[in-house]
Structure 1
Amino acid sequence: MRSPLHLLSLRLRLLLLTAALLLAGLSIVSAVVTDQLQRYQLNRLDTQLRSFTALLAQAPVLRPDVPDTASLAMFDPALDLIGTPYLAFLNAGGAVARGVHSSRLDEAALPTGEALRGIPADGTATDLGAADGSRWRAVARPTVGRDGTVVAAAPLAEIDALVARLRTTTVISGVALLVLLTAAGWYALGRGLRPLRRIEHTAAAIASGDLSRRVPVVAAPATEIGHLASSLNVMLGQLERAFAARAASEARMRTFVSDASHELRTPLFVIKGSAQLYRMGGLTERADVDEAMHRIDREATRLTALTENLLLLAQLDDAAEGHLERAPMDLRTLATDAGHDLRALDPSRPVDLTGPGGIGPPGPAPVHADEDRLRQIIANLVGNAAAHTPAGTPVRIGVGTADGRAVLEVTDEGPGMTADHADRVFDRFYRTDRSRTRSGGANAGLGLAIARSLARAHDGDVELETDLGEGACFRLALPLLHHPETGSGR
């Protein structure tokens, strides 16, 4: 079960805790001061009593055989002066043989003889009680030259009154101090917690949907609240980016599902339409049947290629590394084969093999990669150049090392792309020309997306440099394979 304190505000809880600690501290200080004062007063009184009894133990003035003359009367004004208003002589039997007390004291206020007999005669201070309930302090010593005991006693009324006044004073001053400090603490806590309230307001605004809000600078960065504000701002930035990324991902997913549905629906409609036409008897001639079967086969092939590409992308998204069979190889071999493939696609197209950037001859580019997947990447890049440039447009294939990476470039002198198209060309199902005739699944807008996913699975990437009217350069960059002994590229 939760404590009722949890229902209070943090400010009030801190104030109650502080007030409780302050009250405990004041109480302890008051008790210690009062106890020390009482001990001091008692020690001072005990010293006086011991000194006086030591003197009287050797003087004959209180012995009963000494006449009660003016020598006794002179003690009356002196008793109050020396702080010992009652003196008594006890005989060997313990009875009070003679006693002298201040004229200010009533007989009823004096300690009883029985109480005096119980005092040890070794000078130890003892507390006594009187008939009227008052408290006394007494010291006893044996007399010199005759059996008997001298007792000096003093009431504790003044000491008790002094201690009581001190207690009252400390209680009143402590209460006043507690009230004053509690009020000051309430104000100080209010100012100290003000940054937390501003953080609370910021959090409420963020909870209502304003993810761009940040915690204001409410304290010095070196303070706890400053650290909290800084950490919260970092967290809020990450949350905003995460929400933005999720929104963008959801938008891409909706676009992907829409495009995938459209791409899958088109060949299915062709296949279904051709089958229905045949079933209804609309294909009466053998040539019509052959043409319908050709369309069905073409669309089925396109549908198969599209499905396999989608499956490959899903596998790469899930665990790309698990679908690679790496082995040492050189990108020069793939660049040479790509040049042959491009010439076979368009014999009229000039194809040059160079180093990266068109500088020098092809150079070594050793990598540790899956050769079949790299061939798939380069086939997509070469096919993209062939499909999006006019026939006969020159293409350069550069291979070698640049900036510590193995590089293979496919550069054309075609129409190029705008910055908007270049930013989205690697998106799935994105095509710069959506009116382009689709054939065999090659133009579904997945080729470059697959190429980049495969490159990143190899810890590399596919980059694009292009400008409208300036052609396009697609660059495959992969980590170099280093020699196990020298660490240099082979």
Structure 2
Amino acid sequence: MTPSGAGWSLRRRLVVALVVLLALVSALVGVVSVLALRASLTDRLDEQLATSISRSLVVVSGSLGPLPTPPQLIVPSAERVLEAPGQAEGTLAAVLVEGRVLSSGYLDTAGTVHALTAGQDAALAAVAADGAAHSLDLGGRMGDYRALVAFDTAPSTGDGLRIVIGLPLANVETTVGQVVLTVAIVAAFGIVLAAVLGARIVRGALRPLQRMAQTASRVAELPLDRGEVALAERIPAADADSRTEVGQVGAAFNNMLDHVAGALGAREASERKVRQFVADASHELRTPLSSIRGYSELTRRSGEQVPADIAHALSRIESESVRMTGLVEDLLLLARLDEGRELARDPVDLGRMIVDAVSDAHATAPTHEWRLESPPDPVMVSGDAPRLHQVVANLLANAAAHTPAGTVVVTNLAVVGGEAVLTVGDDGPGIDPSVRENLFERFARADSSRSRSTGSTGLGLAIVRAVVTAHGGSVSAESTSGETRFTVRIPSVD
């Protein structure tokens, strides 16, 4: 179960909160207004009831006289009580003696008096003689009434003469109902209008946040992990006004981007120095390494008899100089690729190149089983032939170096969706998961002991990625126990 509103956007939350708050305020105002109106109309009806009672007492005063003693009291009828001029439609009267209703009735539109039912008489008889008007439900067509004991000769015992006068609450209920309906319609319209206008207002208020999110998305798409980065993205000045809350976020975002840009600039400067040092060092090392190799080879081939240990030392010097020359050449190539130097863009037949590379691998590692799957038609790409040959050779050498004898290495070439797809797979033990993420990094080695038994420099796969990237392609690796596959994709040409 997720909390109510979880996953909602900030705009939706604000609009819903605004609508709910407005609905609550509207309901509160409506309830208070209706209650106040009802109380006001009821007070006005009580005033009308007092006036009606005054008219009725004037009419019956001739019968009552100066209020004789109970034995001489003349009891008026309900019709007599209602004969007063100006009595409103629906006015009722009930005459009770010793708590029993002797006569009762109400006026219709024509001024005719109609009798009440026994149940209505009982309801009128129950009205308390406390000098206050009471609301009661007479049922049927008469509905709710306000009734008041207008005259009582024995209010404490209820055994004397009592006259009850009442006026209908129908007009009050009708008016209150109309007001309730009006308030409900106006409140509903106001809530809908507030929702529409509130959504627009909130959308406008949050638009700077949307622009910030778009800026952050553009920054996130930049390749910040390598190379020179021109981090020019910034929040507009209008959205970075520190006098507003949203502007404070924008200003903080700009400060963060400035800090990141400075850090990236410092990193790029440091990397540039390292690349320059590697390039310079590699270039300078080529000459002495060539000299060492040449002199050692010259000495070994001079024909002079030398002790066996010296011959072995010269052989080791020559082999190590060859290995170091390869390492220097690899470092120099990476440095040049890092500098963004353009490679040659010539038509290259990958099919023929792969045949040559697999043949070389078979001659170098005859203990492995080498297989080739290639289409009969040429697979042409635009690129630097020596560098692409180095990519294939490095992948095959990697398979030979890190798999045992008897491993089957399959090289497959195909054209898929306008791309030349080269796959080098083997059924060896697989790649150690601990180095899989850094497989294409420089000097990444599965052998943490730094053993030289395989002759690996840790630069082969780094060169593969650098060359393939320079050709606008991509390289990836998938490995499980018993299956490892490297896939290179390069745009093909017709």
- TM-score bracket relative to the smaller structure: 0.3 to 0.5
TM-score by length of structure 2 reads: 0.47
TM-score in terms of structure 1 length: 0.48
